[in-house]
A and B are shown apart, each in its own frame.
Chain A
Amino acid sequence: MSLSKGEKIFVGIILAAIIVTWLFSLPNIGGMEQLSEMGIGTKWIYTFGEEAGFFTRINWLTVIMGGIICLVVIIFAHGVSKKFSMIPNRKQSAVELFLDFMYKTVEDSITVKEYVKPVFVISTTLFIFIGVANIISGIPGLNVSVINGEPHFSLFLDTWYTPTSDLNTNATYALMTLVISHAFAIKVKGFGNWIKSFFQPVFIMFPMNLVGEISKPISHSLRLFGNIYGGGILVLILSYMVKYLILPVVLWGFFGMFIGLIQAMVFSMLTIAYIAGQIE
């Protein structure tokens, strides 16, 4: 494989940046005697109000990074739509290919034609947000862990914080999917038939169907959360063992980008499947 002059310079800059970062963070790594000192699995949570409770806690990074991802996606979409033409450029073709693929997938699953577009919008939006969030979990950047009750900022020792590694984000989307699927079901079948669907095939199956429905958002959200959060911790531990020399890049690529994109796809597929199952 031969590289052009520009590519060689680019690879050189990247390698130099990795070496400089590694040298810069070496004293930091050497100081960690135990894994527990790395603050693995801890989250930077701000509590306000007099009593700490469910509604008085905020995970800063989830809110900030969620907002940043939304902004990045909106800016990208604006950039593509501004130069929309009959003969597409690279960006436009990529976006059209992706949207076409998603539309066909939804069209295959949803039998009621008038619901194809709303389901396409919901599932594609979820895929884009979760996909971008998971991809940044494969890129080194700023992350915060709490050590001895104080936030500890680390640059390039870990990847960007991803909102999908917080169960609240995934549970929100999963609950939203559940509510939307049942709202669509009531609209398509009517309220009476929707209630009847819980008592099928026989009346005794009601508790089983009910537990099955309640457990859908749990399995839906935990699958994504487990993959991303578990992947992040695994990479941190393995990186610590080799002192951030070679392995993290490969692992970040695998867990962040490959597994992350697959899980984003699976999440939106399940969204389509749950809605399709309800409005059949």
Chain B
Amino acid sequence: MNKKNEKVNLSGELKKLNLIPYFGFTVFANMAVSGLIGYYLDKWTFDNKIIFIIFLFFGMATGIYNGIKELVKESKQYEEKSEKKDENTGEKTPKKGF
């Protein structure tokens, strides 16, 4: 197929570009929420910053988990879309991704 004739899906391209900052923002936001919860829990209990640090690490793990979950979901969507496209055009594209 001639590549010039292919229509560029602007929203799809933006979504793809958005994935990288999305991951960073997700990790940061999760750490912020978890850190805030940890800070107040620590303040109201032992007040020795241990719970705060534990919650910060928990936030990091949560952020990475949620970020990767989103990445896997997006890559599955792309795969489904490319499979549908292949069915329509009769071509085969090599499988990539996770």
Give A contacts to B, CB under 8 Å: 101, 104-105, 108, 207-208, 211-212, 214-216, 218-219, 222-223, 262, 265-266, 269-270, 273, 277
Given contacts A211-B34, A215-B63, 6 further A-B contacts (CB under 8 A): A105-B11, A207-B58, A211-B37, A211-B62, A222-B25, A270-B18
| Contact between chains at B11 and A269 (CB < 8 Å) | yes
Whether A212 pairs with B30 at a CB distance below 8 angstroms is: yes
B interface residues, how many (CB within 8 angstroms): 25
Q: Given the complex of chains A and B, what is the CA–CA distance between A266 and B15 in angstroms?
A: 8
- Return the contact of A211 from the options B12, B14, B21, B33 (Cβ within 8 A): B33
CA distance A107 to B30 in the complex (A): 30
B11 touches A219 (CB 8 A): no
Q: For residues 9 through 63 of chain B, which have their beta carbon under 8 Å from a beta carbon of chain A?
A: 10-12, 14-15, 18, 21-22, 25-26, 28-30, 32-34, 37, 58-59, 61-63
A to B contact number (C-beta, < 8 Å): 60
Main secondary structure, interface of B, reads helix
Separation in Å of the B63 CB from the closest CB of chain A? 8
Write the chain A residue with the least CB distance to B31: A215
B66: CB under 8 A from chain A?
yes
Contact yes or no, A211 B59, CB < 8 A: yes
Inter-subunit contact B15/A269 (CB<8 Å)? yes
CA distance A266 to B37 in the complex (A): 28
Docked Cα-Cα span, A209 to B63, in Å, equals 10
Tell which of A104, A218, A219, A223 has the most Cβ of chain B within 10 Å.
A219
Q: Chain A residues with Cβ under 8 A from B37's Cβ?
A: 211
Contact of B11 among A108, A207, A208, A223 (CB under 8 A): A108
Report the minimum CB–CB distance from B51 to chain A (whole Å). 14
A104 CB to nearest B CB, Å: 8
Cβ A215 vs Cβ B11 within 8 A: no
Answer whether A222 and B29 are a contact pair too, CB < 8 Å, given A208-B61, A208-B62, A208-B66: yes
Chain B positions 45-98 with a Cβ under 8 Å from a chain A Cβ: 58-59, 61-63, 65-66, 73
How far does the alpha carbon of A74 sit from the alpha carbon of B62 in the complex, in Å? 42
Contact A219 B14 (CB under 8 A): no
A20 to B12, CA, bound (A): 45
